[in-house]
Amino acid sequence: MQPFELVIAIMIADLASVPMSDTGIPITNGIIPILALLFIQLIIAIINLKSIWGRKIICGMPSILIYRGRIDEKIMKKEKFTINELQERLRQNNVFNIGDVEYAILETSGQLTVIQKPEKRNTIPEDFGITPEYEGIPYDLVIDGKVMHENLKAIGRDYNWLIKQTEKFKMKPEEALVVTYDGKGQIFCQEKEGKK
């Protein structure tokens, strides 16, 4: 559903409940506003079909949260999207490592479209006679510059090890937007903007 469709559906439900809950109100007092809302919805749908400019105003435009493998912090802030929400949406798309994503597009419906990096796109290992290794679950080690000490402990590492890993990316853990560690020991790290 587009946002305007959701609003109209809620308003229709609200208008229909008034005459049903109070027998003193004539049923026409509920039907007339409902018909008016349906007419408005029809007009909006026609504008949406006929005009690209109108479609942009009514439905909005998709937002690219990850562009060429990098998280766009400005768009994330504009859309009020946190790293945790992004990771949750990626997991819903069967992507468990943020480093595997080439593009992530937040659609106007609220759905997240994910395009993985070419080398990470799904194939069936059985087609190639391959038995995949166990990967495990990726752990967030740093989010928004905050170190996740519980996750470090869960992977059997400490803060000093994390410092050495982030130094490879020429930053301190507190300067990172996100640091993840997957079951193969691979680290994804991205620096916060303005910390260079």
Taking phi over 0 as left and psi of -120 to 50 as alpha, with beta for the rest, 68 belongs to left
**Angle between the N-to-C axes of helices 52-59 and 3-21, in degrees from 0 to 180, rounded to the nearest 10:** 60
Answer with the one of 120, 145, 166 that is the final residue of a domain: 120
The pLDDT-based confidence of 156 (bands split at 50, 70, 90) is very high
Residue carrying the six token digits 């080398």: 119
**pLDDT recorded at residue 1:** 62
> Cα angle at 153 between 167 and 87, to 5 degrees?
75
Q: Is the per-residue pLDDT at 106 higher than 90? A: yes
Quote the pTM value.
0.59
Q: Which domain holds residue 35?
A: 3-59
Q: Is residue 68 part of a domain?
A: yes
Q: Is the per-residue pLDDT at 193 higher than 80? A: yes
Q: How many domains does the chain have?
A: 3
The token pair at 191 is 């620096």
Same domain? For 49 and 26 the reply is yes
Q: Is residue 17 part of a domain?
A: yes
Q: Say how far apart CA 45 and CA 97 lie, in whole Å.
A: 38
Tell me the average pLDDT across 95-121: 90
Name the strand (E) or helix (H) holding 23: none
Same domain? For 141 and 107 the reply is no
Same domain? For 160 and 116 the reply is no
Q: Is residue 128 part of a domain?
A: no
Strands (E) located in the chain? 63-67, 70-71, 101-106, 112-116, 139-143, 146-147, 176-181, 187-191
Q: Say how far apart CA 40 and CA 53 lie, in whole Å.
A: 18
Q: Where are the alpha helices (DSSP H) in 82-184?
A: 83-92, 149-154, 159-167
Q: Is residue 85 part of a domain?
A: yes
pLDDT exceeding 90 applies to what percent of the chain?
49
